[in-house]
Amino acid sequence: MTMPEPTFAFFRALPRTAESRVALASSMQTLESALLLIALRRYPHALSTCAAAIESAIKSSVVRTERSDTFEKILDAARKESKGLSAFSADSLDAFRRARNRIIHKGFSPRDDSESVGLLLEVGLPFLHQCYLDLFSFDLWNALLPDHVQQLRIATEVYLRAKGVADLERSYCVDGLGHLIRWTLKYNFSTSWEIQALVEAEKVGKDFDVNYERRQQLEHILSPSWFFECPLCRELEALVCHLDEDALSSRDVIPDRLICNNCGLVVEKADLYLGEAILKEHVQREKQAILKEYGL
């Protein structure tokens, strides 16, 4: 009796060999669970789940491990097997491992969110990527859906910039990734009548009228503002952003608040650097048009 092929929600490519696909199936599905937990804002649980994905990948590889080995021993064995993995500092892996142990054995609270996001972005996910690459010749960043990888890169960029700001809760850095996951899975959690209502609204044009009216309201509230295509839902001119006035007077364009009229993405001014990073490419394309509109 043949086993059915595993299914994935966030991967567009699988390992090339059948052997690697079998070996990595559990780890890849566990990683997807970690991404879902990020979308649910359960960041410490996402960290411990990412650790489980790492452990599964290493145990399924050529790295010699024993069934009774601790997570610390498993990490050490993998680092001895690979130059890429040995490049990760022992201190950073120890911090990741200690957080994982604390979360598994003692639980977690919202106070752990910021640390968990930082360890995921700086240690857990990059280490998992290197495990796949070095032990299975499988590039995780090329295999995941491109929009999700882009939001993950944005989250890492924002976190590294925000790291130097004292007393800042940094779990917001993955808000773009979390929102994208919730949006792409929206129909999986919608009832049939909700989906039908959306279809009917689009047919008769009600959805367009409501969105247009709401967009005008947002334009007034967020002035000085500009409209962009939303990088997450891809709806044209659905994302309204507030432009930093001091920067604008200096002929610079920095979006510091975002609201998407279609998918509901919201980035607050307190979410340092996030709006700027999400719209970085869009601003580069439209900067001159924006400055011209505001007479600059």
pLDDT value at 202 more than 60: no
pLDDT value at 54 more than 70: yes
**Residue 204's pLDDT is what?**
46
Residue 111 in domain:
yes
Distance of CA 170 to the CA centre of its chain: 13
The residues that bridge with 240 in the sheet, in sequence order, are 227, 259
82 and 200 housed in the same domain: no
240 and 137 housed in the same domain: no
pLDDT value at 208 more than 70: no
What average pLDDT does range 268-284 have in this prediction?
Answer: 96
276 and 202 housed in the same domain: yes
Residue 170 in domain:
no
Q: How far apart are CA 15 and CA 18, in angstroms?
A: 8
pLDDT in tens, 74-123: 999 999 999 999 999 999 999 999 999 999 999 999 999 999 999 999 99
**Torsions phi, psi for 112 (to 5 deg):** -90, -5
**Residue 218's pLDDT is what?**
74
Q: By mean pLDDT, which of 5-19, 40-54, 192-206 is the weakest? A: 192-206
Residue 162 in domain:
no
64 and 136 housed in the same domain: yes
pLDDT in tens, 227-245: 999 999 999 989 999 999 9
pLDDT band at 219 (very low <50, low <70, confident <90, very high): confident
Which residue range(s) make up the domain with 104? Answer: 18-144
Residue 96 in domain:
yes
Dihedral sign for Cα 170, 176, 177, 182, please: positive
pLDDT band at 190 (very low <50, low <70, confident <90, very high): low
199 and 262 housed in the same domain: yes
Residue 212 in domain:
yes
Which has the higher per-residue pLDDT, 219 or 26?
Answer: 26
pTM exceeding 0.85: yes
Residue 8 in domain:
no
Q: Which residues of 30-45 are buried (b: 16+ CB within 10 A; e: fewer)?
A: bbbebbbbbbebbbbb
Supply 261's token pair: 């009229």
**Residue 1's pLDDT is what?**
46
106 and 209 housed in the same domain: no
Q: How far apart are CA 260 and CA 233, in angstroms?
A: 9
Encoded amino acid at 169, one letter: E
Q: Which of 116, 144, 172 is the last residue of a domain?
A: 144
Between the CA of residue 214 and those of 153, 196, 261, what are the distances in Å?
31, 22, 7
Supply 150's token pair: 């882009």
What CATH number is associated with residue 54? 1.20.120
Q: Report the chain's mean pLDDT, rounded to a whole number.
A: 91
Count of structural domains within the chain: 2
pLDDT value at 168 more than 70: yes
140 and 200 housed in the same domain: no
**Residue 192's pLDDT is what?**
58
35 and 135 housed in the same domain: yes
Residue 60 in domain:
yes
**Torsions phi, psi for 223 (to 5 deg):** -55, 140
Between the CA of residue 110 and those of 32, 177, 229, what are the distances in Å?
22, 19, 33
Supply 16's token pair: 């090339």
Query: How many residues would you count in the chain?
Result: 296
Q: 3-class DSSP state for residue 243?
A: strand
H or E stretch at 64? none
Q: How far apart are CA 30 and CA 152, in angstroms?
A: 17
23 and 124 housed in the same domain: yes
**Residue 3's pLDDT is what?**
62
Short-list 176, 171, 81, CA closest to 130? 81
What average pLDDT does range 11-24 have in this prediction?
Answer: 96
Residue 156 in domain:
no
Whether residue 125 contacts residue 152, with contact meaning beta carbons closer than 8 Å, is answered with yes
